[in-house]
Amino acid sequence: MTRLTLHTADSAPEASRPLIERVIANNGFLPNLIAALSNAPVALETYLTVSEINSRASLTLAEREVVQITAATVHGCDFCVAGHSAIALKKAGFDGAAVVALQRGQPTGHARHDAIAAFARAVIATRGAVSDSDLASFKAAGFTDAQVLEVILGVSLATLCNFANSLAQSPINPQLEAFRPGVLQP
């Protein structure tokens, strides 16, 4: 049972309604994260705005999804793990084995993706105060100073949605159930 109201386009505060309609048009359904965030129109707007900004990062879609799945896994947000696993499989070109590995916090066998996942975990664990060796390892994998900060941007986006879902206890939408940790097969 969710602890926050999961709004629809009809029940949401007026300022959230056009944002909800845009999400439904883009996804074909209303993710429960958006339904929960719509309680605070500024929170929903922040999530959508930062998502759009994050999409312009120099990290590829696949690399951004590594950050999102890693952060959601570390934060224990199965809803976000499922949602980003679906994106990784349907839009970012991942295979099931790589996504399951990310869900489990294990190596994917893809050097850049594994470097991003390790760096994102270090950023979260140290609240940004990563060690010199963690930073050097990330940069040695071919990443730039800009991409260091883009990982932090991705972690900040993930933190908003992971924490909102954890607080709300939003159930996973039926459209995402097959991508839930433990359900998705390699």
R_g over Cα of the chain: 16
Specify the CATH number for the domain of residue 79: 1.20.1290.10
Overall size of the chain counted in residues: 186
For residue 186, pLDDT over 90 is answered with: no
- One-letter amino acid identity for 97? A
User: Looking at the 3D structure of the chain, how many domains does it have?
Assistant: 1
Residue 159 lies in a domain: yes
Instruction: Indicate the helix (H) or strand (E) that contains 156.
Output: helix 145-168
Q: Which DSSP category does 58 fall into?
A: S
Q: pLDDT tens, 30-89? A: 999 999 999 999 999 999 999 999 999 999 999 999 999 999 999 999 999 999 999 999
Tell me the residue range of the domain where 126 lies: 14-179
Beta strands in the chain (DSSP E): none
Quick: pLDDT tens for 120-134.
999 999 999 999 999
Q: Is residue 4 part of a domain?
A: no
pLDDT surpasses 90 at 16? yes
CA atoms within 13 A on the CB side of 77: 26
Which pTM does this prediction carry? 0.96
Judge contact between 165 and 79, C-beta under 8 A: yes
Q: Evaluate whether residue 143 is within a structural domain.
A: yes
The pLDDT, as a whole number, for residue 101 is: 98
Residue 148 tokens read as: 């260091």
